Structure 1
Amino acid sequence: MTQRTWLITGVNSGFGRHMTEQLLARGDRVAGTVRKMDAMNDLKAQYGDLLWLAHLDVTDTPAIHQVVNKAFTDLGKIDVVVNNAGYGLFGAAEEMTDDQILHQINTNLIGSIQVVRAALPHLRTQGGGRIIQLSTVGGQAAFPGGSLYHAGKWGIEGFIEAVGQEVAPFNIGCTLVEPGGARTEFRYGSSQLAPKIDAYDISPASMVRRIIEEGTSVSLGDPAKMAKIMIDSVDQHPAPKRIALGSDSYTTIHKALTERLANLEAQKDLAFSTDFPANA
């Protein structure tokens, strides 16, 4: 098996941690970014120089460029860049504070954009590579109580799909990964709730608040299996544009796309009616 070098943001937990453990176990090198360095002491002690670590807050754009540049300089070549860092912000749009909105967009959207922008010059220079962007079922479907989370994920999906076309001539492939619910720390660990407005108790937006506050719902998805599929996708040529992971993701995305297509087809005559006449 060819040894690869991976740059993964947010390796201390969730999919980033699962991917890092699997990659190190098979002998690949991982350049991982973390918010808390101590969280990686066990893997660093076990794997030594195979694990390169740097502190990074992905809301800090200058720091993103410094860390990505240093990773490529220190390791010589990075084959795969994985944008994993992110978190969920939930509640009705009206409930969210301005600071919460800015931090969510800066982390999940702008942070991911800047990691890609920082990596692209290096990937072009070395003759290619892969970008794996963690999205979610919520990047294709929307649920009440997730408006700002969806804003970031729908935004990054459009960005990656366009960038993938831009960089294809440089042998750089881009893949969006859309997991459903998985048994990571995401739902009950890293996710945040907006301050409560009682009027929204009667709104569908209140459901996600109850789920998080009660803490009893168990996700279907196995994050270790999902991480392996993300890793294995790098062997596919060309790079898959999207990978849906989990039966809930497949079912929800299928329903959303089917309804969207039906709604579009119903508007065909209306859409065509707004063109100038032929030869006008």
Structure 2
Amino acid sequence: MTARTWLITGVSSGFGHALATRLLERGDRVIGTVRTRDKVTRLLEKHPDTFTAPVLDVTDTAAVRKTVDESFAVGRVDVVVSNAGYGLFGAAEELTDAQVDHIIATNLTGSITLIRAALPHLRAQGGGRIIQLSSYGGQVAFPGNSLYHATKWGIEGFAEAVAQEVAGFGIGVTIVEPGGARTEFRYGSARVADLVDAYDGTPAHAFQAMLDPAGGLAPGDPQRMAARIIESADTEPAPLRLVLGSQALDSTIDVLRRRIDGFESQRELAASTDFPPGE
């Protein structure tokens, strides 16, 4: 297989690090953005010719565009992976305005900016792939995760629309929806609001048990998930969605079935708001 070039945001940990490591080991070239280079020192030392780690804060839209332009200026970029993001836990009223603004700027606006910046380059080179890391939380919502879900549901709508806009240019778009995995997303980088006692013992604080490793580890293997994500880049046509984890798939199917049932029950109501035929 011919070596590819991948641009991946957020390779310091989690799926980004797992992807970068696997790709470099098989001989691909990786441009992996980081907030600081401390956690990728070994990768830089081991793969000096095929790995670069530009420092990037994806909330800086000008810097995102500059990084994308510089990456494509070096040569063809085959796959763009929008991975940078984090989880924010707490009831909606427990979150500060600054926390709301930052997670939207990171998970949603940052991803949108990356993809928009890459599209002219992908069109000019005759195609490529965009892989957007979402979550099964882009389809299923849980209490205590409202703003995280807002960003994931938002980026899924954006990516699904973009997929239709650019398919004619040979650009494939895949939305990856992992379930719970043993990454720093859950056991390290997760951010928690200043909790309000009124929500203790309610569903809004159920996430506390999930974030505690003593309550049992997440079932998802980040390495196996990374392997499936990499394989998806070879699938033609590009799968629009890639659900990773049996629990994630079961939950998504259950929620979608209940959602469809709810819509089906509204057929008469929906029709009652149309003009009568002929009017």
- TM-score band, normalised by shorter chain: over 0.9
Residues 109 and 155 of structure 1 are in contact (CA less than 8 Å); yes or no, is this contact kept in structure 2? yes
What is the CA-CA distance between 1:203 and the residue it aligns to?
A: 2.0
Structure 2, unaligned stretches of length 5 or more?
none
* Equivalent-residue separation in structure 2 for 1:32 and 1:78 (angstroms): 12
**TM-score (norm: length of structure 1):** 0.98
What is the CA-CA distance between 1:188 and the residue it aligns to?
A: 1.8
* Equivalent-residue separation in structure 2 for 1:214 and 1:69 (angstroms): 41
Q: Secondary structure at the match of 1:209?
A: helix
Residues 130 and 174 of structure 2 are in contact (CA less than 8 Å); yes or no, is this contact kept in structure 1? yes
Q: Which amino acid aligns with 2:129?
A: R
Residues 92 and 206 of structure 1 are in contact (CA less than 8 Å); yes or no, is this contact kept in structure 2? yes
Question: Where in structure 2 are the equivalents of 1:1-280 lying within 5 Å?
Answer: 1-74=1-74, 76-212=75-211, 216-280=215-279
Q: Which amino acid aligns with 2:44?
A: K
Alignment CA distance shift 1:173-1:214 (3 Å):
closer
* Equivalent-residue separation in structure 2 for 1:168 and 1:189 (angstroms): 37
What is the CA-CA distance between 1:94 and the residue it aligns to?
A: 0.4
Q: Which amino acid aligns with 1:64?
A: V
Q: Secondary structure at the match of 1:110?
A: helix
RMSD between aligned residues: 1.0
* Equivalent-residue separation in structure 1 for 2:213 and 2:78 (angstroms): 42
Q: Secondary structure at the match of 2:33?
A: strand
Residues 193 and 209 of structure 1 are in contact (CA less than 8 Å); yes or no, is this contact kept in structure 2? no
**TM-score (norm: length of structure 2):** 0.98
Q: Which amino acid aligns with 2:26?
A: R
- Aligned-residue sequence identity (percent) comes to 57
Q: Residue deviations 1:160-217, cap 9 Å, x none? A: 0000001111110100000000111111211100111110113200111343257543
Q: Which amino acid aligns with 1:78?
A: V
Alignment CA distance shift 1:124-1:215 (3 Å):
farther
* Equivalent-residue separation in structure 1 for 2:64 and 2:3 (angstroms): 25
Q: Secondary structure at the match of 2:150?
A: helix
Higher helix share: 1
* Equivalent-residue separation in structure 2 for 1:278 and 1:8 (angstroms): 53
Q: Which amino acid aligns with 1:54?
A: P
